[in-house]
Structure 1
Amino acid sequence: MNKTIRMLDSRDYPHLEAMDTGIEFDYIPRIFDKLITGNNRLYGLFLDGQMVSMSGYTIYANHYAMLGRLRSDRRFKGNGYATEIVAYVMNEAFKLSNIHWVGANTEEDNLPARRVLEKVSLAPYIALHGAQTEDTSVMESNARPWQPVTDLTRKREWVNKLYAQTGAIFPYECYYPFPGSADLFQDDDLKQWSFYENASGTRFLITKYDQKKYHYLHAVYPWHDMAEQRGLWETIAADYRKLKTLTDDETYIWMDLTKEEIQTLPAGHPFELPTPWILHGMDKATWAEASALA
């Protein structure tokens, strides 16, 4: 039996259609062309010309690669092909000179995917709930919203202090958090994101627009005292109202919250809390060391 792994292109769409993944209404066929161009790559594992497993990566901030789109043909499960394709894709991503970190984000309940990530030595970093709401009024206290921060130097001071210098996990996009580094915070992003400070200059908030299935105001607040900060929720609510005037579809507030942060929310808080996603990953130095020993 001839086994090969290679990068996919537009001519491979029939191979994807022929796979029996058991996934109803899968989004991948709909956006297949996007997943093989730009910052996206897909790879397939073939047996005698038939694709039996698939995975890929997307590059973020030019230095981070997130693995995903793992699909396997049910008729060939139990042979380790999912682990093999993920390991291959991870190595291909790390071979890129600009990539410093490779990871994957998967739902806590997705035990098969978590086992695959463990087998390729991607260690778990953090579990985050993608908390969503349309109304923060129960969190508000009629306080004045925080002051906008427009100075790029001040914005960079905040992200350097809280993320780049500590390596703390930063929610770069909905579903896509990354360990902080100077590379993660590019000037174009900092200019586009909205920053706010409280009156004493001891706390800050980032809000940014994101779109996945729906539109989101993605709010990032890096402390555990969000229920105690007067003006924080008024600031988020004001930006949310502005965003809703610009979108024609469903629009929500999204915050990435740990289980510990959820415990600080008051009873009757407005957030829907879906199953958390667990971020796994590895930096390039660790990968290079492991590769040298293999």
Structure 2
Amino acid sequence: MEQVAHVKMLTIDDLPALMAMETGIEDDYVVRIFDRLIESDSHQLFGLFQEEQMLAVAGYSLFGQNKFAMLGRLRSDRRFQQKGNATRLLEPIVDHLKRVPDVEWVGANTHLGNIPARRVLQKLGIEQGPVIHYLTLKEPEKLSGHTKGPVWNRVEDLNEKYRLLDSLESNALDMFPYECYYPFPYDKSLFTDDYLEESSFYLSPDQQRFVIIRNDTKKYDYSHVKYFWDDHYDQPGFFETLQDHWNQNPDNAGCWIDFSAQGFKNIPDLSAYDVQEPWILYGNWQHS
């Protein structure tokens, strides 16, 4: 008789079971940082087990004073795929998050073309959100079609940074790109003194636009650009401002920019960028 699979929160003792999985991922960072994930207050990992064998692993990370939970780190043992294990694992994780008092939003971010993952999220009742294009500006000398101009004025005052964020009346991205790969609904809980102090704000000369650039590391170091309009190529000095920040942080691999679907269509020439497959954000607000 086949043993019933069960889900449990992982501990450091589960590392051997994780390492025994055949995921096809070489040098999996989840294995490398397993101890840090287990010990962290803002990350949790869960495993789907059949007896002592781990069939799948997934977890979540908390952001915005624990208001936002992002599902992720899903891996399945290739020997046991096509058995609904991802859904069987994620369902109790989502149920668990519904009981966490501070969590108000649960979501996931996946490739637009990852149909199996999107089907799982649909089964879980998590709603589809905006499509996001992640591009890294690597060769700015190849930029064309943009409006050149002076570097925008840097904003140093913390209160002014908060004022700019509060003044945003429209947001073409339909989200806030908190970190590379981690977009969330635009929400004040994400804006802390420490986060804004670590972020460089630049205000356009006409004071009608601003851009936020924050250094972030996702395997490589990036200048992570947060811009909330689709007119990148129309704003004088926008790209000069990005290059100026990059020049001040020469170890960064490039300028990571989150584009909306329309913003992506507005790019006249992609040769200056490394282009990823589009991603799509899913998420639900929790209702009490």
TM-score after normalising by structure 1 = 0.89
Query: In structure 2, the residue corresponding to 1:272 is in which secondary structure?
Result: strand
Where does structure 1 lack aligned partners over 5 or more consecutive residues? 289-294
Which residue matches 1:291?
Answer: none
Which residue matches 2:96?
Answer: 92
Q: Match of 1:80, as an amino acid?
A: G
Q: Is the 8 A contact 2:214 2:224 kept in 1?
A: yes
**Offset from partner CA, 1:201-235 (integer Å, 9 cap, x none):** 11101000000111100011111111011111111
Report the Cα offset of residue 167 of structure 1. Answer: 9.9
Q: Is the alpha carbon distance of 1:268 and 1:96 closer, same or farther for their aligned partners in structure 2, counting shifts above 3 Å?
A: closer
Q: Is the alpha carbon distance of 1:35 and 1:228 closer, same or farther for their aligned partners in structure 2, counting shifts above 3 Å?
A: same
Q: Is the alpha carbon distance of 1:165 and 1:270 closer, same or farther for their aligned partners in structure 2, counting shifts above 3 Å?
A: closer
Which residue matches 1:231?
Answer: 237
Where does structure 2 lack aligned partners over 5 or more consecutive residues? none
The 5 Å alignment of 1:1-294 reads 1-38=3-40, 39-62=42-65, 63-137=67-141, 138-139=143-144, 143-162=149-168, 168-244=174-250, 247=251, 251-267=253-269, 270-285=272-287, 288=288
Query: In structure 2, the residue corresponding to 1:222 is in which secondary structure?
Result: coil
In 1, distance between residues paired with 2:109 and 2:172?
Answer: 21
In 2, distance between residues paired with 1:37 and 1:163?
Answer: 40
In 1, distance between residues paired with 2:176 and 2:62?
Answer: 16
Query: In structure 2, the residue corresponding to 1:55 is in which secondary structure?
Result: strand
Q: Is the 8 A contact 2:138 2:274 kept in 1?
A: no
Q: Is the 8 A contact 1:149 1:194 kept in 2?
A: yes
Identical-pair percentage: 37
In 1, distance between residues paired with 2:12 and 2:162?
Answer: 40
Q: Is the 8 A contact 1:41 1:58 kept in 2?
A: yes
Deviates more, 1:156-165 or 1:169-178: 156-165
Q: Is the 8 A contact 1:163 1:180 kept in 2?
A: no
In 2, distance between residues paired with 1:46 and 1:272?
Answer: 39
Which residue matches 1:292?
Answer: none
In 2, distance between residues paired with 1:284 and 1:31?
Answer: 30
Report the Cα offset of residue 268 of structure 1. Answer: 5.6
Q: Is the alpha carbon distance of 1:268 and 1:55 closer, same or farther for their aligned partners in structure 2, counting shifts above 3 Å?
A: closer
In 1, distance between residues paired with 2:271 and 2:159?
Answer: 35
Report the Cα offset of residue 142 of structure 1. Answer: 5.0
Q: Match of 1:282, as an amino acid?
A: N
Q: Is the 8 A contact 1:195 1:205 kept in 2?
A: yes
**Offset from partner CA, 1:168-219 (integer Å, 9 cap, x none):** 3010000010001121212221122111111111110100000011110001
Q: Match of 1:219, as an amino acid?
A: V
Q: Is the 8 A contact 1:147 1:196 kept in 2?
A: yes
Q: Is the 8 A contact 1:167 1:180 kept in 2?
A: no
Q: Match of 2:227, as an amino acid?
A: Y
Query: In structure 2, the residue corresponding to 1:97 is in which secondary structure?
Result: coil
Report the Cα offset of residue 46 of structure 1. Answer: 1.2
Q: Is the 8 A contact 1:164 1:181 kept in 2?
A: no
Report the Cα offset of residue 135 of structure 1. Answer: 3.0
Q: Is the 8 A contact 1:58 1:66 kept in 2?
A: yes
Query: In structure 2, the residue corresponding to 1:104 is in which secondary structure?
Result: strand
Count, aligned residues? 282
In 2, distance between residues paired with 1:270 and 1:74?
Answer: 37
TM-score after normalising by structure 2 = 0.91
Q: Is the 8 A contact 2:171 2:229 kept in 1?
A: no
In 2, distance between residues paired with 1:198 and 1:189?
Answer: 21
In 2, distance between residues paired with 1:76 and 1:236?
Answer: 46
Deviates more, 1:88-97 or 1:233-242: 88-97
In 2, distance between residues paired with 1:128 and 1:100?
Answer: 22
